[in-house]
Amino acid sequence: MERPATAPRIPEPLALTAGEPAGIGGEITLQAWLARLESKLAPFFVLDDPARLRRLAEALGWPVEVRAIADPAEAVEVFERALPVLALTSPIAGDPGRLDAANAGAVLESIRQAVALTQAQRAAAVVTNPIHKAILYEAGFRHPGHTEYLAELAGLAEAPVMMLAGPSLRVVPVTVHLPLREAIASLTARDILHAGQVTARALRRDFGVAAPRIAVAGLNPHAGECGSLGREDAEVIAPAVEALRRDGIDASGPLPADGMFHEAARRRYDAALCMYHDQALIPVKALDFDRTVNVTLGLPFVRTSPDHGTALDIAGSGRASPKSLISALRLAEDMAAARSTPAQPSAAYTKER
């Protein structure tokens, strides 16, 4: 969707984390800054090592001036001429494509600082570059990923929810990084209800959808075919849908998943609640892989991320596409603006009716 010239602006810059230094985070950050005017990006700063980004820009032959800043407020003035970088205290070692466990401290410091600055209203939102969890686990990281770590930093009592947002589809997986057998066994009406409630609140607050419509996917073929193809749809999913309706949410389902994602069907809802990881991610990535964004719902601050990994195999080559990061930056700006002016709908990723 074309971004309108009157898109709401935000006074504070966006905080972008370094991500895994051996991955493509650095080069897509450089490319996003180079595309700042064409993509109409709000000012952002990156929490990283300025010297590392300078070396990377020089190695790739990209005309990026990297400017170290002492405070996020400087980023707004600097952004037009240079990429603002708030230096980390933790060292970053190694080269693109070569993992080094010594970088775990810098990766986690970058996330912590971005969250702290956003919570202190010195940054408008958190945008995270991809991390490599195996390296963090070696350093004692105990969380499954970004989402759970952000929830701890935010002090949340309830679990946040992952959304994948693309230009024509938003999906929310109820179960996420579980083997399919475990995902089915662990699925509960309570979890579906929670995901639906958090999604509805976020659609209103962050996406400017006044009356959210949520389509709930069935688990089994044909949503169980009246029980002949599985009882979960009738015994687990249907009660959750009824509970969402009692809560005042316009929810429909369980719906056969094979008929939910074509163009005409997508016009009938604002987000699709899916029962497991691939049921959600396959359609949204198939529709627009490069511009799909990972959004964490239910946090007290805005957090978005590119919906791809560290791509160690091409890191440092300059071949990585910055499109998902650019989309994540744009969506973070629009969500932050929607929170500050709830009456205005979000400009990016607002589904056409």
The predicted pLDDT at position 342 comes to 52
Q: Which stretches of the chain are DSSP H helices?
A: 25-34, 50-60, 73-78, 104-119, 133-138, 146-154, 180-186, 189-207, 232, 238-246, 263-266, 277-288, 323-340
Task: Specify the fold of 1-159+299-353.
Answer: Isopropylmalate Dehydrogenase (3.40.718)
- Residue ranges of the chain that CATH labels 3.40.718.10: 1-159+299-353, 168-290
Listed residue (294, 292, 299) closest to 114, CA to CA:
299
The predicted pLDDT at position 177 comes to 85
Residue pair 252/151 in contact (Cβ under 8 Å)? The answer is no
Angle 183-186-191 from CA coordinates, rounded to 5°: 100
Q: Residues 150-168: pLDDT tens digits?
A: 999 999 888 899 999 999 9
Q: What letter represents residue 9's amino acid?
A: R
The hierarchical CATH code for the domain 168-290 is 3.40.718.10
Q: How many CB atoms lie within 10 A of CB 77?
A: 13
β-pair type (271-274, 213-217): parallel
Q: How many residues does the chain have?
A: 353
- Burial (CB count within 10 angstroms: exposed 0-12, middle 13-18, buried 19+), residue 241: buried
The predicted pLDDT at position 143 comes to 82
Quote the CA–CA distance of 79 and 85 in Å, as a whole number: 10
Residues of the chain with pLDDT under 70: 1-8, 342-353
Which residues touch 288 (CB under 8 Å, ≥6 apart)? 166, 167, 168
3-state secondary structure of 46: strand
The predicted pLDDT at position 5 comes to 42
75 φ/ψ angles, rounded to the nearest 5 degrees? -65, -35
